[in-house]
Amino acid sequence: MALLLLHTCCVHCVAYTVGYWRGQGFEVTLLWYNPNIHPYLEHQRRLEALITFSRSKSLLIIADQSYDPVKFFQAIAGYEAERCQKCFHLRLLRAAKIAKEKSFAVFTTTLLISPHQKHQLLKEIGEIVAKETGITFLYHDLRRYYSESRHQTKVLNLYRQQYCGCLYSEWERYSKAGRK
């Protein structure tokens, strides 16, 4: 069975995605690497929810806790309007490098199930990272299963985030000025 490293943005996107890739014949390991989530306590809440879920489902997880918001802000500095592109690249590049180091056959991300993400851009960045690292990026549009994924975690009463992750997204979510 081919080994798949699944970059994981949050537990609610993991639930359906894991089952989907297992159904395609892959042995799935989760990877947590999200320095884009601010502030730190929000990052920890989301990680704890994922760990609780992965224990309940006996899922393997690599939790990269080298939380480094400086790296995130350096990556997007001067590109704030296109920050998601830099953010995707930062996270997927890390996922691809870990996949390569640990001899996974392929990598992908749970972000592909979210209708709130820039889907086409995500696909493009995944393919760019695949070329940069020489490891295959698995693509499938899973957005139609987003509600099903969230439904699967609802019964577990796990923490649910209210914004994408970075300070900008939190500002856009809660402030009138941010939404302009």
Binding ligand SF4 by CB under 6 A: which of 83, 110, 130, 138?
Answer: 83
CA distances to 34, 121, 126 from 129, in Å: 16, 12, 5
Q: Is 7 in the site for ligand SF4 (CB under 6 A)?
A: no
3 state DSSP class of 15? helix
**Of the listed pieces 10-18, 46-54, 81-89, 138-146, which binds ligand SF4 according to CB under 6 A?**
81-89
Residue numbers 122-141 binding ligand SF4 by CB under 6 A: none
Q: Is 47 in the site for ligand SF4 (CB under 6 A)?
A: no
Backbone angles phi, psi at 161, to 5 degrees: -75, 155
Q: How far is the CB of 160 from ligand SF4 (least distance, A)?
A: 16
Q: Rounded CA gap, 135 and 100, in Å?
A: 7
**Of the listed pieces 25-33, 42-50, 83-91, 99-107, which binds ligand SF4 according to CB under 6 A?**
83-91
Q: How far is the CB of 48 from ligand SF4 (least distance, A)?
A: 19
Binding ligand SF4 by CB under 6 A: which of 70, 143, 165, 171?
Answer: 165
- Cβ proximity to ligand SF4, 19 vs 69, nearer residue: 69
Q: How far is the CB of 165 from ligand SF4 (least distance, A)?
A: 3
What tokens were used for 94?
């890390």
What tokens were used for 77?
């500095």
Q: Rounded CA gap, 89 and 128, in Å?
A: 9
Binding ligand SF4 by CB under 6 A: which of 4, 11, 47, 84?
Answer: 84
Q: Is 33 in the site for ligand SF4 (CB under 6 A)?
A: no
Binding ligand SF4 by CB under 6 A: which of 6, 87, 98, 125?
Answer: 87
CA distances to 95, 123, 145, 152 from 137, in Å: 10, 9, 20, 26
Q: How far is the CB of 73 from ligand SF4 (least distance, A)?
A: 11
**Angle (CA) 142 38 176, round 5°:** 85
> Are 8 and 50 contacting, i.e. CB atoms less than 8 angstroms apart?
yes
